[in-house]
Structures are given as C-alpha cells and as structure tokens.
A and B are shown apart, each in its own frame.
Chain A
Amino acid sequence: MNDQQLEHLLRKAPAPLPPAGLKEQLKTGIRLPVPPPECLAMEAPLWRRWFPALSFGMLLLGCLVALAVQTSQLRELRRENTALRAATATVEELRRENAQLESLRAATADLERSKKEHNELLKLRGEVRLLRAVAQELPGLRAENQRLQALAAPVALAPAPPPGAALTSVPVIRFSETNWDFGQVNNTEPLTHVFVVANVGNAPLEITEVKPACGCTTAGEWDRQVAPGKSGIIPIVFNPSKFTGPIAKVVTVTCNDPETPVQKLLIQADISRVNNAQP
C-alpha cells in the first residue's frame, strides 16, 4: 500500500454523530461576554486617557532634573579641581623654596664649620710655634737649672724653712712669638695674625688688656683667662690700606703674671700699594 492509498483511506474516516440533545445543551450554555456600553467607554477617566502622555512627561521631567543635578555637580567638581590644582602648584613652589632654604642652611653650616676649623687650625699652629720655642729654650733652661742647683747646694744644707711658710702660686705668661712679620703684602686687604699665649705657671693667667698703639691695629676677641698648662689666643687685625713700605706696630698685653705684667708684641710688614685699591 502506497502513500496515496493510505491518505485516501485516512481521509474517509467516518465521523461519529453527536448524541441527541447535545446541540440544545450547547445553545443553552452560551454565555457571551457583556460588551462594554459605548457611553462607559466614552466616560473613561480623564487621567486614564492622559496617563501615557502624563507618564512620559513625568519621565522626561525626571530625566531633566537628574541632568540638571548632574550638570551642577559636574560644575562644582570642576571648580574644586581647579582650586586643588592651584593649591598643588603653590605647594610645589613652597617645596622648591624649602629646598633652597635647606641648601642655604647647609651651606651656612658648612661655612661656620669651616670658620671654626680655620680658627682651630690657627690655634694649633700657634701652639706648635710655642712648643717649638719652648723646645729651643729647653737646653738653656736645663743649663740654667743646673747652674741654679749648683748655687743652691750650700743652701740645701741650711736648715729647712719653718713649717707654715707657704709656696706661692703664680701664673707665667709665655708667647709662641712676640714678633710677627707679614712679609711683602698688598694694602688691599686687612691682615690677621693670632698670637698664641700659654700659661706655664701654676695659677690662672688673667689677660686684662690688649691695647694696640695705632688705630690701624685692632685686637679681636682674646682669651681673657688661661688655665695653668693651657693656652689661649690673641687675634690681631692690621689694616694696611693707609701705609706703604715697611712698618712696625706694637700691641701691649697686660696680665697678672707678677714677673711679666706687661708684654709687648710687635707686628711688621712691607706694604706695597696697589693702584686699583685707590678710591
């Protein structure tokens, strides 16, 4: 049996007839939906008819409000951003200035340290000169000592001084040099020399006055008290601007050394006049 034959037979399927009375039952059971009266349709609430337009309008209004708020916030943020950028630029400038100040402070500190080191160096040089002078005097002093011991031998045989006779404590001033020659110098700049003074006694040395004989010479801040066995400095500044040729200036030092209460210091120089130094 082929497809056509099968389809032919299938299309001939008998239709069972409905039972009697079904038609009447179906007609009785008709329940048609009540159509809405036209007047009711016309009297739909106003808001319902306008609801789509109103809702769209509200949505649009909401969007506009949101847009306005966002724009305002955006403008405010931009203003804040500009202010912050300006503040950042100020901070950068302050940082630069701070760095410059720090470098200046470091340079000043270096300068102070250099000055201190320079003064210390001058002091040490003076001490070295003093020690060299003392070392040169040492053979003479030894000979003097031996001579004095020889002279004192008969005295040693004499009876000892009575108890209660106190040994006196005195300071003894000693300079590294009492004469300083600057040599050949120009008259353009002031000349400075530091005299080193030592106390070789056993009492504190009080240097009460350092008095130059000429207004061209000034004394710097000297050590007014020198402990026993220690040394101090007396800076002397000489202004050669008004001189030409060899000169010699005297500075008088007054102290409490009973043997040498006044010590004269001599400064010498051979001054050359420089033409451009003239005003």
Chain B
Amino acid sequence: MSDAASTLCELAQAGDREAAGELVSLFYERLYAWLRRLAGSEEDAADLTQKTFARAWAALGSWEGRSSFSTWLHGIGHHVYVDWRRAQPPAAVPLDEWWAHCPDDAPDPFQTAAERDLAERLFAHVERLDEDTRQTVHLHYYQGLSLAETADVLGVATSTVKYRLRQALDFLKTRFAEPKAPVR
C-alpha cells in the first residue's frame, strides 16, 4: 500500500485529481477514526479531517518520499489537532466515551463481554493520561504506527516514544492492580 500511495501521491503532485481522490479513499477512514478518538465529537473530527486533507493538498509539493504518505498525513493531522486543541478552552474538550459510539454494524473486536468491559475500562484510563502520553498511545496502539513512525509524527525521538509508552503501561497496570476501581 505504501508503494501504491507513493505512486498516487506523485501523480497527485503532477495534478492528477483522480489519484488524489484515491488517496482520500485510502486514508480518510483511518484518519477520521484517529481524530474522532482524540477530538471527542463527530463534528470536530470531520472538520479536522477536512482541514488535514486541505493542508496536505496545499503542501503536496513538499512531500519528497522520505517517509510514507500515511506518516506524512498523520504528521499534518497532528499539527491540525494541536492547533485546534490550543484554540479550545480546556473545559470545552469533552472526554467522551468514543468506544461507545461505534456504529452497530462495525465488527466487534472483542470475543467476550468480559473482555469488552475490561477494554472499555482500559480505554477510559488512557483518556486520563497526560496529553503527550495519550497521543503517543493513540498513534502507536490505536492507529498501529511503528515506534519510528510515531516519533516522526510527534516530532520527538524514538526513545521518547518508548519512555512515554512505558509510563502509560506502568500507569495502566497500577490502575488494574486495584480491585476494580472506578474510573476517575
């Protein structure tokens, strides 16, 4: 997919709208899902997705293939989200339960109700991590980016990503070591 995305990107750089449309089809769902988990509302996520693609088209000439198109697009999305987040007052960013708003026709990844219950508690604890660690967990675990890709998107060193993930796992382990503590 990376090679195909690179080819499409080169065509789009040459002015091929069809190729650009193909890039939208390939990446918009994944990008929306990531921004939806971060932003807390469907409207904001859709708006951020549109802004991300608009910036990507404007900066398309600067893409030189040093990183994959997916990583490059996530990097733009990260900056769009950070800008949006800075413009919002802290109280205005809701911590919604995004995992509860998945459409019914989406395939359920959990095998048992107990596992779903456990996962929902886990996701709730992740949303209460500090912002940098939370974004690192979203990119690496939820979006499936590698450590290097995550570091590239966030603009930090790979060792920093490892450190943040280690902190997140330690925090989550302590939360789950307690006997079914309510999520605060």
Contacts and interface: CB of A to CB of B under 8 A. Distances in A.
Contact of B57 (A14, A23, A25, A31): A31
Interface size class of B (residues with CB under 8 A): 35 or more
A22 interface: yes
Nearest to B32: A18
Interface residues of A, number: 28
Contact of B110 (A7, A12, A15, A17): A12
A12 B45 CA distance: 21
Interface in A1-16: 1-3, 6-7, 9-16
Interface string B59-72: 01100000000000
A250 to B, nearest CB: 134
Interface in B11-61: 12-17, 20-21, 24-25, 28-30, 32-33, 36-37, 42, 45-46, 49-50, 53-54, 57-58, 60-61
Given A9-B119, A27-B21, A18 B49 contact: yes
Contacts of A11: 141-142, 144
Given A16-B101, A18-B29, A26-B50, A7 B169 contact: yes
Interface string B173-184: 100110000000
B20 A29 contact: no
A13 B61 CA distance: 34
A10 B176 CA distance: 14
Contacts of A15: 29-30, 33, 102, 106, 142
A40 interface: no
Interface in A74-125: none
B57 A13 contact: no
A19 interface: yes
A31 B58 contact: yes
B115 A9 contact: yes
Contacts of B118: 9
A33 interface: yes
Contacts of A13: 37, 99, 109, 119, 123, 141-142
Contacts of B61: 33
Interface string A25-60: 111011111110000000000000000000000000
A9 B29 CA distance: 21
B80 interface: no
A108 B54 CA distance: 111
A25 B42 CA distance: 15
Contacts of B110: 12
Interface in B99-154: 99, 101-103, 106, 108-110, 115, 118-119, 122-123, 126, 137, 141-142, 144
A6 B28 contact: no
A17 B50 contact: no
B46 A30 contact: no
Contacts of A31: 54, 57-58
A130 B139 CA distance: 140
Contacts of B142: 10-11, 13, 15
B169 A3 contact: yes
A18 B149 CA distance: 24
Report, nearest first, the 4 A-B pairs whose CB atoms are least far apart.
A15-B33, A10-B141, A18-B32, A12-B109
Interface of A: 1-3, 6-7, 9-19, 22-23, 25-27, 29-35
Interface of B: 12-17, 20-21, 24-25, 28-30, 32-33, 36-37, 42, 45-46, 49-50, 53-54, 57-58, 60-61, 98-99, 101-103, 106, 108-110, 115, 118-119, 122-123, 126, 137, 141-142, 144, 169, 172-173, 176-177
